[in-house]
């Protein structure tokens, strides 16, 4: 009987044992940093990754300017500035703002995009960090808003826009708000995965936007997107901008891109 018991125990142990390779294969892969910009240089545009955002007709870009005074690198920060228009007397815009994007310089597909920044504010300020597709008109190609802050809010918005979300606001939920310390640096991130987008603020999960099978216009992600970082002033969402004397700044400490 003792021999039988010992044999049964040995068989049980053999069945229950797994090789280290079998165990490791089931562990979730960790994010691996594949690209970053920490702005530890003198020239903002020397890498060929970043370009200035030109003036447009939309609320978000109708005060953009290419003037050098709106772009700085100082103490390892990219600084984007919004101020009264005292640089271009022939420009009808009352205010001017600086913004950069990686369009034609660098694109992001599946992976994690993370940014650390600090945001100054005034009434009518609208700093944003977001992503648009290399190919595809809005909103069919999708839009990923990693961060938007309005006025003096002590929270930020994180939002998804697609053709689907124009008609379906809550199924699935396509945005959230999350508190921040507006006087300090905060970290914002999105994970672009095959079946969902996952958002974070200061390493805290905020919400996810899942893929709905059989509806491609609901989830047009995973293809090349470029990154936009811009200081914006005014617009229908934030309202009018009163006169202000001191320029406001957006301090970007670093941008990182991870893959698994």
Strands 111-119, 51-52: pairing kind: unpaired
Domain harbouring 218, CATH code? 2.60.120.200
Residue 41 within any structural domain of the chain: yes
pLDDT in tens, the chain (260 residues): 444 444 444 444 444 445 444 444 467 789 999 999 999 998 889 899 999 999 999 999 999 999 999 999 999 999 999 999 999 888 889 999 999 999 999 999 999 999 999 999 999 999 999 999 999 999 999 999 999 999 999 999 999 999 999 999 889 999 999 999 999 999 999 999 999 999 999 999 999 999 999 888 999 999 999 999 999 999 999 999 998 889 999 999 999 999 99
Which tokens sit at 66?
Answer: 């290419």
**Torsions phi, psi for 2 (to 5 deg):** -60, -40
Q: Which two tokens stand for residue 256?
A: 């990182």
Give a yes or no: residue 9 inside a domain: no
- Domain assignment present for 162: yes
3 domain-assigned: no
Residue 60 lies in a domain: yes
Q: Which domain holds residue 231?
A: 32-259
The conformation of residue 54, written as its DSSP 8-state character, comes to P
Cα–Cα nearest to 121, from 183, 185, 202: 183
Bridge partners of 155? 179
Determine, yes or no, domain membership for 13: no
Q: Is residue 100 part of a domain?
A: yes
Say how many domains are in the chain: 1
- The β-bridge relationship of strands 77-84 and 95-97 is antiparallel
Q: How far apart are CA 110 and CA 225, in angstroms?
A: 10
DSSP strands (E only) in the chain? 32-37, 51-52, 71-74, 77-84, 95-97, 99-101, 111-119, 128-133, 143-148, 155-161, 175-179, 186-193, 196-201, 204-210, 225-230, 248-259
- What pLDDT was estimated at residue 5? 43
Residues 213, 207 contacting (CB under 8 angstroms): no
**Rounded to 5 degrees, what angle do the CA atoms 153, 159, 164 make?**
145
Residue 85: inside a domain: yes
For the entire predicted model, the pTM comes to: 0.89
């Amino acid at each position: 009987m003792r021999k039988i018991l010992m044999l049964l125990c040995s068989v049980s142990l053999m069945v229950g044992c797994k090789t280290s390779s079998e165990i490791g294969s089931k562990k979730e892969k960790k994010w691996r940093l594949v690209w970053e910009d920490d702005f530890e240089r003198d020239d903002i545009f020397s890498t060929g990754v970043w370009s200035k955002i030109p003036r447009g007709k939309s609320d978000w870009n109708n005060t953009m300017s290419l003037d050098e005074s709106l772009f700085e690198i100082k103490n390892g920060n990219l600084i984007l500035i919004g101020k009264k228009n005292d640089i271009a007397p022939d420009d009808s815009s009352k205010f001017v703002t600086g913004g950069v994007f990686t369009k034609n310089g660098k694109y992001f597909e599946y992976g994690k995009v993370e940014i650390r920044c600090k945001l100054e504010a005034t009434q009518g300020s609208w700093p944003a960090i977001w992503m648009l597709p290399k190919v595809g008109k809005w909103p069919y190609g999708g839009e990923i808003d990693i961060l938007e802050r309005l006025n003096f809010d002590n929270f930020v918005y994180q939002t998804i826009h697609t053709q689907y979300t124009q008609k379906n606001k809550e199924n699935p939920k396509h945005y959230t708000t999350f508190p921040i310390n507006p006087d300090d640096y905060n970290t914002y991130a999105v994970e672009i995965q095959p079946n969902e987008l996952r958002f974070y603020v200061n390493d805290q999960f905020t919400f996810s936007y899942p893929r709905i099978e059989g509806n491609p216009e609901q989830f047009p992600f995973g293809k090349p997107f470029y990154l936009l970082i811009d200081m914006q002033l005014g617009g229908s969402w934030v309202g009018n901008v009163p006169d202000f004397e001191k320029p406001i700044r957006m301090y970007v400490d670093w941008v990182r891109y991870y893959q698994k």
